[in-house]
């Protein structure tokens, strides 16, 4: 069975401080993992993806995520938050060769001035 758990529904940080959005997954098969961002009234944009290469994945806008198989985690981080990072973030798992995408429930990131 495949599932994704985003541990925080809301995260609030101050501008310039680090961001940590947590994601745990369950997959019966070697997964690909993704983080998507959704700004208000906008479509889903891919931030980064893990596909069994390097476990530390760098994405757009300074975000990165580390795949930890032993912990079944794929947490998203950014060293310094910007006001424009305020959005909803979704962790997604895709089991190998299944061409299916399972979403977490999302984490809303609020960035305070």
Partner 1 sequence: EAGVAQSPRYKIIEKRQSVAFWCNPISGHATLYWYQQILGQGPKLLIQFQNNGVVDDSQLPKDRFSAERLKGVDSTLKIQPAKLEDSAVYLCASSFTSGENTEAFFGQGTRLTVV
Residue 28, token pair as written in the block:
């019966």
Q: Which of 22, 44, 64, 66 binds partner 1 (CB under 8 A)?
A: 44
Q: Which stretch binds partner 1 (CB under 8 A): 21-29, 48-56, 57-65, 71-79?
A: 48-56
What's the rounded Cα separation, in Å, for the pair 9 and 21? 9
Q: Which of 61, 80, 105, 110 binds partner 1 (CB under 8 A)?
A: 105
Q: Which of 20, 46, 54, 60 binds partner 1 (CB under 8 A)?
A: 46
> If binding is defined by CB under 8 A, does position 49 make contact with partner 1?
yes
φ, ψ dihedrals at 77, nearest 5°: -135, 160
Which residue, 19 or 106, is less far from partner 1 as judged by CB? 106
| CB-CB contact of 65 with 50 (8 Å) | yes
> If binding is defined by CB under 8 A, does position 93 make contact with partner 1?
no
In which region does residue 68 sit, left (phi positive, over 0), alpha (psi from -120 to 50) or beta (all else)? beta
């Amino acid at each position: 069975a495949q599932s994704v758990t985003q541990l925080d529904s809301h995260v609030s940080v101050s501008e310039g401080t680090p961001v940590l959005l947590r994601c745990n997954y369950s997959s019966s098969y070697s997964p690909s993992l993704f983080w998507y961002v959704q700004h208000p009234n906008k479509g889903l944009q891919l931030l980064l993806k893990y596909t069994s290469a390097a476990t530390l994945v760098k994405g757009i806008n300074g975000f990165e995520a580390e795949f930890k198989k032993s912990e079944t985690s794929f947490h998203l981080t950014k060293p310094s938050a910007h006001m424009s990072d305020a959005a909803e973030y979704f962790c997604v798992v895709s089991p190998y060769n299944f061409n299916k995408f399972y979403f977490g429930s999302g984490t809303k990131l609020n960035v305070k001035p």
